[in-house]
Amino acid sequence: MNSKMSRSPHRVFVYGTLKRGQRNFHYLQDAEFVGQFSTESIYSMFVFEDYPAVCVDGQHAIHGEIYHVNDAQFRLLDELEWYPDFYQRIEILTHHGEAWMYIVKAQLCEGKQQIDGIWP
């Protein structure tokens, strides 16, 4: 395979069960780790059973990790995140360039426990 085909065309920001040491990290174990990142303080993070979800419209920074993923890995992430039926994707600006971040609509967060933007 030539180097162009093996390049990872998508940058994603993950903040929950996809981070290193979390139960869904195996989806990213072959992805290229880019670095740590914290967003602007404009989001809210909520607990959905045993995973987090983020809504736009809040006062917390979200802390996570950035990865380069290929098309196949990106499709798997979309399936895991029930995109577009549950999670939506937005592009955020990071110090590593633009990255995709999965968020949910604010009405889905109603009645959920809010946490400070750091998933265990």
pLDDT in tens, the chain (120 residues): 334 444 558 999 999 999 999 999 999 999 999 999 999 999 999 999 999 999 999 999 999 999 999 999 999 999 999 999 999 999 999 999 999 999 999 999 999 999 999 999
Peptide bond into 120 cis (omega under 30): no
Q: In what order do the strands lie in the sheet with 51-56?
A: 51-56, 43-48, 113-115
CB 82 within 8 A of CB 104: no
Third-level CATH fold of 3-110: Hypothetical upf0131 protein ytfp (3.10.490)
Domain boundaries, the chain: 3-110
Q: Which residue has the tokens 């093996």?
A: 6
How confident is the model at residue 6, as a pLDDT? 46
The set of catalytic residues is 81
